[in-house]
Amino acid sequence: MSCVDCSLETRSVKKVGLKARLGEQFARTLSLCAALVAEVNVDPAGEEVLLVPDRVAVAKQNQSVFSGHAPSLVSDKLDAVAVKKPQGTITRGTTNPNRLRRVDRYIATLPVLRTGEPIVVDLGFGASPITAVELLSRLRKINSRMHVVGIEIERERVERGLAVASDHLHFMHGGFETPLPAQFDSRKATVIRAFNVLRQYDESEVAAAWAMMQSRLDDDGFLVEGTCDEIGRLSTWVTLDRTRPLSLTISLRLIGLDLPSKVAERLPKVLIHRNIKGEQIHDFLNALDAAWKNHSALAVFGASQRFIAVCKELRAAGWPLVGDPKRWRLGEISVDWSAVAPK
Protein backbone atom coordinates (compact mmCIF):
# COMPACT_ATOMS: atom_id res chain seq x y z
CA MET A 1 0.00 0.00 0.00
CA SER A 2 1.40 3.33 -1.01
CA CYS A 3 1.03 6.58 0.86
CA VAL A 4 2.38 10.10 0.65
CA ASP A 5 4.66 9.67 3.65
CA CYS A 6 6.09 6.38 2.48
CA SER A 7 8.54 8.05 0.14
CA LEU A 8 10.60 9.16 3.10
CA GLU A 9 11.02 5.57 4.15
CA THR A 10 12.09 4.25 0.76
CA ARG A 11 14.41 7.02 -0.37
CA SER A 12 18.08 6.93 0.41
CA VAL A 13 19.65 9.53 2.66
CA LYS A 14 21.63 10.83 -0.31
CA LYS A 15 18.47 11.53 -2.31
CA VAL A 16 16.86 13.34 0.57
CA GLY A 17 20.00 15.43 1.08
CA LEU A 18 20.19 16.21 -2.62
CA LYS A 19 16.63 17.48 -2.65
CA ALA A 20 17.31 19.68 0.36
CA ARG A 21 20.38 21.19 -1.31
CA LEU A 22 18.46 21.81 -4.52
CA GLY A 23 15.71 23.50 -2.54
CA GLU A 24 18.20 25.77 -0.81
CA GLN A 25 19.83 26.69 -4.12
CA PHE A 26 16.44 27.45 -5.66
CA ALA A 27 15.51 29.70 -2.70
CA ARG A 28 18.82 31.55 -2.96
CA THR A 29 18.29 32.06 -6.69
CA LEU A 30 14.83 33.52 -6.08
CA SER A 31 16.24 35.84 -3.40
CA LEU A 32 18.99 37.02 -5.75
CA CYS A 33 16.50 37.71 -8.53
CA ALA A 34 14.29 39.67 -6.15
CA ALA A 35 17.25 41.72 -4.97
CA LEU A 36 18.32 42.50 -8.54
CA VAL A 37 14.83 43.63 -9.46
CA ALA A 38 14.54 45.79 -6.35
CA GLU A 39 17.98 47.32 -6.92
CA VAL A 40 16.79 49.01 -10.09
CA ASN A 41 14.76 51.48 -8.07
CA VAL A 42 17.30 52.18 -5.36
CA ASP A 43 17.95 55.91 -5.20
CA PRO A 44 20.12 57.74 -6.12
CA ALA A 45 20.59 55.97 -9.44
CA GLY A 46 22.68 57.74 -12.02
CA GLU A 47 23.21 60.88 -9.95
CA GLU A 48 26.24 62.18 -8.15
CA VAL A 49 26.13 61.80 -4.39
CA LEU A 50 28.65 63.44 -2.12
CA LEU A 51 30.47 60.97 0.05
CA VAL A 52 27.49 58.87 0.95
CA PRO A 53 28.59 55.85 2.97
CA ASP A 54 27.19 52.48 2.00
CA ARG A 55 25.98 52.14 5.53
CA VAL A 56 26.50 53.80 8.85
CA ALA A 57 28.89 51.93 11.12
CA VAL A 58 27.15 51.45 14.43
CA ALA A 59 28.53 49.57 17.40
CA LYS A 60 26.62 46.39 18.20
CA GLN A 61 25.43 47.78 21.52
CA ASN A 62 23.98 50.82 19.71
CA GLN A 63 22.21 49.04 16.86
CA SER A 64 18.89 49.36 18.66
CA VAL A 65 19.15 53.14 18.31
CA PHE A 66 18.39 52.94 14.62
CA SER A 67 15.53 50.54 15.11
CA GLY A 68 13.71 52.99 17.37
CA HIS A 69 14.58 51.64 20.84
CA ALA A 70 16.70 53.82 23.10
CA PRO A 71 19.08 51.95 25.42
CA SER A 72 18.40 52.78 29.06
CA LEU A 73 22.09 53.42 29.71
CA VAL A 74 21.91 56.82 27.96
CA SER A 75 18.82 58.04 29.81
CA ASP A 76 20.88 59.59 32.59
CA LYS A 77 22.74 61.72 30.03
CA LEU A 78 19.58 63.45 28.90
CA ASP A 79 19.29 65.81 31.87
CA ALA A 80 22.68 67.28 31.03
CA VAL A 81 21.58 68.30 27.53
CA ALA A 82 17.92 69.15 28.16
CA VAL A 83 16.32 72.59 28.20
CA LYS A 84 13.27 73.44 30.30
CA LYS A 85 11.11 75.09 27.65
CA PRO A 86 12.18 74.21 24.10
CA GLN A 87 10.69 76.47 21.44
CA GLY A 88 8.48 74.63 18.97
CA THR A 89 6.22 71.62 18.80
CA ILE A 90 6.92 67.92 18.30
CA THR A 91 6.71 66.94 14.63
CA ARG A 92 6.10 63.53 13.08
CA GLY A 93 9.82 62.84 12.98
CA THR A 94 9.69 60.90 9.70
CA THR A 95 13.15 60.37 8.24
CA ASN A 96 15.07 58.00 5.97
CA PRO A 97 18.74 57.21 5.36
CA ASN A 98 20.24 59.31 2.55
CA ARG A 99 17.11 61.46 2.33
CA LEU A 100 18.99 64.75 2.80
CA ARG A 101 21.92 64.04 0.47
CA ARG A 102 21.03 66.91 -1.88
CA VAL A 103 21.05 69.63 0.74
CA ASP A 104 24.10 68.10 2.42
CA ARG A 105 25.91 68.27 -0.91
CA TYR A 106 25.01 71.97 -1.12
CA ILE A 107 26.05 72.73 2.46
CA ALA A 108 29.44 71.15 1.80
CA THR A 109 30.14 73.87 -0.80
CA LEU A 110 29.83 76.73 1.72
CA PRO A 111 33.31 78.27 2.15
CA VAL A 112 32.61 79.11 5.80
CA LEU A 113 32.90 75.41 6.67
CA ARG A 114 36.38 74.87 5.26
CA THR A 115 38.36 76.61 7.99
CA GLY A 116 38.45 76.64 11.77
CA GLU A 117 36.25 74.35 13.86
CA PRO A 118 32.73 74.82 12.47
CA ILE A 119 29.54 73.85 14.27
CA VAL A 120 26.74 72.58 12.04
CA VAL A 121 23.31 71.99 13.55
CA ASP A 122 20.83 69.36 12.37
CA LEU A 123 17.70 70.90 13.86
CA GLY A 124 14.77 68.50 14.15
CA PHE A 125 16.67 65.37 13.11
CA GLY A 126 13.61 63.18 13.67
CA ALA A 127 12.89 59.74 15.04
CA SER A 128 16.35 58.43 14.11
CA PRO A 129 19.71 60.22 14.37
CA ILE A 130 20.76 58.89 10.97
CA THR A 131 20.64 62.28 9.21
CA ALA A 132 23.01 63.80 11.78
CA VAL A 133 25.36 60.83 11.45
CA GLU A 134 25.36 61.16 7.65
CA LEU A 135 25.86 64.93 7.80
CA LEU A 136 28.99 64.56 9.90
CA SER A 137 30.32 61.80 7.65
CA ARG A 138 29.96 64.04 4.59
CA LEU A 139 31.22 67.28 6.08
CA ARG A 140 34.31 65.86 7.79
CA LYS A 141 35.63 65.09 4.33
CA ILE A 142 36.06 68.84 3.78
CA ASN A 143 37.13 69.69 7.34
CA SER A 144 38.21 67.07 9.85
CA ARG A 145 37.55 69.50 12.73
CA MET A 146 33.83 69.67 11.94
CA HIS A 147 31.23 69.28 14.69
CA VAL A 148 27.59 68.34 14.14
CA VAL A 149 24.93 68.92 16.78
CA GLY A 150 21.60 67.14 16.41
CA ILE A 151 18.72 68.91 18.16
CA GLU A 152 15.28 67.46 18.86
CA ILE A 153 12.34 68.63 20.91
CA GLU A 154 11.21 65.07 21.71
CA ARG A 155 13.24 63.59 24.57
CA GLU A 156 13.25 59.95 23.44
CA ARG A 157 14.71 60.96 20.09
CA VAL A 158 17.53 62.76 21.89
CA GLU A 159 18.25 59.61 23.88
CA ARG A 160 18.64 57.65 20.65
CA GLY A 161 21.10 60.25 19.44
CA LEU A 162 23.12 60.22 22.64
CA ALA A 163 23.70 56.49 22.18
CA VAL A 164 25.75 57.20 19.03
CA ALA A 165 27.34 60.49 20.13
CA SER A 166 31.09 60.98 19.73
CA ASP A 167 33.74 63.67 20.07
CA HIS A 168 32.42 65.37 16.92
CA LEU A 169 28.77 64.29 17.02
CA HIS A 170 26.62 65.81 19.76
CA PHE A 171 22.92 65.79 20.63
CA MET A 172 20.80 68.31 22.51
CA HIS A 173 17.21 68.57 23.66
CA GLY A 174 15.72 71.78 22.32
CA GLY A 175 13.94 73.61 19.52
CA PHE A 176 14.30 76.80 17.51
CA GLU A 177 16.35 78.42 20.29
CA THR A 178 19.16 76.10 19.06
CA PRO A 179 21.02 75.20 22.26
CA LEU A 180 24.61 74.02 21.91
CA PRO A 181 26.66 71.76 24.20
CA ALA A 182 28.38 73.47 27.13
CA GLN A 183 31.80 72.63 25.71
CA PHE A 184 31.30 75.30 23.03
CA ASP A 185 30.96 78.01 25.70
CA SER A 186 29.32 81.07 24.13
CA ARG A 187 29.88 80.07 20.50
CA LYS A 188 27.07 80.08 17.95
CA ALA A 189 26.31 77.82 15.01
CA THR A 190 28.16 78.16 11.72
CA VAL A 191 25.32 76.54 9.78
CA ILE A 192 21.86 75.45 10.88
CA ARG A 193 20.06 72.92 8.70
CA ALA A 194 16.33 72.77 9.48
CA PHE A 195 14.71 70.33 7.07
CA ASN A 196 11.12 69.09 6.97
CA VAL A 197 10.43 70.95 10.21
CA LEU A 198 8.49 74.10 9.33
CA ARG A 199 6.47 72.15 6.80
CA GLN A 200 4.33 71.04 9.73
CA TYR A 201 3.80 74.59 10.99
CA ASP A 202 1.50 77.37 9.81
CA GLU A 203 2.86 79.85 7.28
CA SER A 204 2.31 82.67 9.79
CA GLU A 205 4.83 81.02 12.16
CA VAL A 206 7.72 80.91 9.70
CA ALA A 207 9.09 84.43 10.23
CA ALA A 208 9.39 84.02 14.01
CA ALA A 209 11.06 80.62 13.66
CA TRP A 210 13.51 82.00 11.11
CA ALA A 211 14.36 84.96 13.35
CA MET A 212 15.02 82.76 16.38
CA MET A 213 17.35 80.46 14.43
CA GLN A 214 19.10 83.39 12.73
CA SER A 215 19.86 84.87 16.14
CA ARG A 216 21.83 81.70 16.93
CA LEU A 217 24.15 82.04 13.93
CA ASP A 218 27.73 83.28 13.81
CA ASP A 219 28.18 86.63 12.09
CA ASP A 220 29.11 84.81 8.87
CA GLY A 221 26.77 81.84 9.43
CA PHE A 222 23.89 80.49 7.36
CA LEU A 223 20.47 79.01 7.98
CA VAL A 224 19.36 76.42 5.40
CA GLU A 225 15.64 75.72 5.80
CA GLY A 226 13.61 73.57 3.45
CA THR A 227 11.70 70.47 2.50
CA CYS A 228 12.17 67.30 0.46
CA ASP A 229 10.18 64.23 -0.50
CA GLU A 230 10.46 60.94 1.37
CA ILE A 231 13.44 59.63 -0.59
CA GLY A 232 15.16 62.91 -1.40
CA ARG A 233 14.55 63.13 -5.15
CA LEU A 234 12.73 66.49 -4.95
CA SER A 235 14.19 69.08 -2.63
CA THR A 236 13.98 72.84 -2.04
CA TRP A 237 15.48 75.18 0.51
CA VAL A 238 15.93 78.83 1.42
CA THR A 239 19.40 80.01 2.41
CA LEU A 240 19.48 82.87 4.93
CA ASP A 241 22.19 84.82 6.69
CA ARG A 242 21.72 86.50 10.07
CA THR A 243 19.53 89.24 8.66
CA ARG A 244 17.61 88.13 5.56
CA PRO A 245 16.80 85.37 3.06
CA LEU A 246 19.39 85.17 0.28
CA SER A 247 18.20 82.59 -2.24
CA LEU A 248 15.86 79.75 -3.09
CA THR A 249 17.40 76.51 -4.32
CA ILE A 250 15.58 73.77 -6.22
CA SER A 251 17.30 70.39 -6.54
CA LEU A 252 15.80 67.68 -8.74
CA ARG A 253 16.56 64.14 -9.76
CA LEU A 254 16.55 64.73 -13.51
CA ILE A 255 16.27 61.15 -14.73
CA GLY A 256 12.63 60.44 -15.49
CA LEU A 257 11.57 64.01 -14.67
CA ASP A 258 8.36 65.07 -16.42
CA LEU A 259 8.25 68.74 -15.49
CA PRO A 260 10.40 70.70 -12.99
CA SER A 261 7.25 72.22 -11.44
CA LYS A 262 6.59 68.84 -9.81
CA VAL A 263 8.75 70.23 -7.02
CA ALA A 264 5.93 72.66 -6.15
CA GLU A 265 4.54 70.14 -3.68
CA ARG A 266 7.86 70.30 -1.79
CA LEU A 267 8.39 74.04 -1.64
CA PRO A 268 9.41 75.54 1.72
CA LYS A 269 6.49 76.48 3.94
CA VAL A 270 6.94 80.17 3.21
CA LEU A 271 6.24 79.49 -0.50
CA ILE A 272 4.14 76.35 -0.76
CA HIS A 273 0.83 78.22 -0.61
CA ARG A 274 2.09 80.93 -2.98
CA ASN A 275 2.25 78.89 -6.15
CA ILE A 276 -0.72 80.75 -7.59
CA LYS A 277 -1.18 83.27 -10.37
CA GLY A 278 0.20 86.65 -9.42
CA GLU A 279 2.98 85.31 -7.17
CA GLN A 280 6.64 85.33 -8.21
CA ILE A 281 7.29 81.68 -7.40
CA HIS A 282 4.44 80.73 -9.74
CA ASP A 283 6.08 82.72 -12.53
CA PHE A 284 9.46 81.13 -11.87
CA LEU A 285 8.14 77.58 -11.95
CA ASN A 286 6.23 78.33 -15.17
CA ALA A 287 9.40 79.70 -16.76
CA LEU A 288 11.29 76.61 -15.61
CA ASP A 289 8.69 74.31 -17.19
CA ALA A 290 8.63 76.27 -20.46
CA ALA A 291 12.41 76.12 -20.81
CA TRP A 292 12.38 72.39 -20.01
CA LYS A 293 9.93 71.84 -22.86
CA ASN A 294 11.92 74.10 -25.20
CA HIS A 295 15.01 71.94 -24.82
CA SER A 296 13.38 68.53 -25.05
CA ALA A 297 15.53 67.72 -28.10
CA LEU A 298 18.61 67.74 -25.86
CA ALA A 299 17.27 64.78 -23.91
CA VAL A 300 19.16 62.47 -26.26
CA PHE A 301 22.40 63.89 -24.81
CA GLY A 302 21.25 63.29 -21.25
CA ALA A 303 19.04 64.99 -18.70
CA SER A 304 21.93 67.02 -17.31
CA GLN A 305 22.67 68.66 -20.67
CA ARG A 306 19.00 69.50 -21.03
CA PHE A 307 18.86 71.10 -17.59
CA ILE A 308 22.03 73.12 -18.19
CA ALA A 309 20.37 74.56 -21.31
CA VAL A 310 17.27 75.35 -19.24
CA CYS A 311 19.32 77.31 -16.70
CA LYS A 312 21.12 79.23 -19.43
CA GLU A 313 17.78 80.20 -20.98
CA LEU A 314 16.43 81.44 -17.66
CA ARG A 315 19.55 83.50 -17.01
CA ALA A 316 19.35 84.99 -20.52
CA ALA A 317 15.71 85.86 -19.87
CA GLY A 318 16.72 87.94 -16.85
CA TRP A 319 16.11 85.60 -13.96
CA PRO A 320 18.78 86.40 -11.29
CA LEU A 321 20.33 82.95 -10.92
CA VAL A 322 23.03 82.74 -8.27
CA GLY A 323 25.69 80.24 -7.32
CA ASP A 324 28.10 78.15 -9.34
CA PRO A 325 26.78 77.07 -12.78
CA LYS A 326 28.59 73.77 -12.20
CA ARG A 327 25.71 72.92 -9.87
CA TRP A 328 23.27 72.89 -12.80
CA ARG A 329 24.45 69.50 -14.04
CA LEU A 330 23.37 68.07 -10.67
CA GLY A 331 19.82 69.28 -11.22
CA GLU A 332 20.34 72.17 -8.82
CA ILE A 333 19.34 75.75 -9.56
CA SER A 334 19.44 78.74 -7.19
CA VAL A 335 17.70 82.07 -7.70
CA ASP A 336 17.95 85.31 -5.76
CA TRP A 337 15.26 85.51 -3.09
CA SER A 338 13.99 88.84 -4.38
CA ALA A 339 12.77 87.11 -7.56
CA VAL A 340 10.57 84.55 -5.79
CA ALA A 341 9.67 86.13 -2.44
CA PRO A 342 5.96 86.25 -1.54
CA LYS A 343 4.19 89.47 -2.45
Does 255 map to a domain? no
* CB-CB contact of 186 with 162 (8 Å): no
46 and 16, same structural domain?
Answer: no
pLDDT in tens, the chain (343 residues): 444 343 333 334 344 344 444 444 444 444 433 333 333 333 333 444 443 333 344 444 444 444 444 444 455 555 555 556 778 878 776 788 999 999 999 999 999 999 999 999 999 999 999 999 999 999 999 999 999 999 999 999 999 999 999 999 999 999 999 999 999 988 999 999 999 999 889 999 999 999 999 999 999 999 999 999 999 999 999 999 999 999 999 999 999 999 999 999 999 999 999 999 999 999 999 999 999 999 999 999 999 999 999 999 999 999 999 999 999 999 999 999 999 999 9
44 cis-preceded (ω within 30 degrees of 0)? yes
pLDDT at res. 221: 98
Does 21 map to a domain? yes
Domain housing 181: 42-243
317 and 195, same structural domain?
Answer: no
Can you give the three-state secondary structure of 158-211, one letter per residue? Answer: HHHHHCCCCCCEEEEECCCCCCCCHHHCCCCEEEEEEECCHHHCCHHHHHHHHH
Beta-bridge partners for 236: 227, 250
What's the predicted TM-score (pTM) here? 0.78
pLDDT at res. 163: 95
142 and 285, same structural domain?
Answer: no
Instruction: Tell which of 211, 243, 275 closes a domain.
Output: 243
190 and 292, same structural domain?
Answer: no
Q: Which CATH number goes with the domain that contains 228?
A: 3.40.50
123 and 84, same structural domain?
Answer: yes
Does 276 map to a domain? yes
218 and 82, same structural domain?
Answer: yes
Instruction: Tell which of 182, 210, 243 closes a domain.
Output: 243
239 and 156, same structural domain?
Answer: yes
Instruction: Tell which of 243, 273, 304 closes a domain.
Output: 243
194 and 84, same structural domain?
Answer: yes
Torsion of CA 241, 229, 323, 116, to 10 degrees: 50
pLDDT at res. 75: 52
Does 250 map to a domain? no
Q: Could you give the number of structural domains in the chain? A: 3
DSSP-assigned letters across all residues of 216-275? TEEEEEEEEEEEE-TTSSEEEEEEE-SSSEEEEEEEE--TT-S-GGGGGGG--HHHHT--
218 and 157, same structural domain?
Answer: yes
236 and 222, same structural domain?
Answer: yes
pLDDT at res. 83: 59
DSSP-assigned letters across all residues of 104-158? HHHHTT-GGGSSS--EEEEET--SSTHHHHHHHHHHTTT-TT-EEEEEESSHHHH
Does 2 map to a domain? no
Of 219, 223, 226, 201, the closest CA to residue 210 belongs to 223
| Distance from C-alpha of 170 to C-alpha of 158, rounded to nearest angstrom | 10
129 and 110, same structural domain?
Answer: yes
Does 254 map to a domain? no
Does 6 map to a domain? no
296 and 224, same structural domain?
Answer: no
pLDDT at res. 19: 41
pLDDT tens by residue, 137-147: 999 999 999 99
Does 289 map to a domain? yes
pLDDT at res. 165: 96
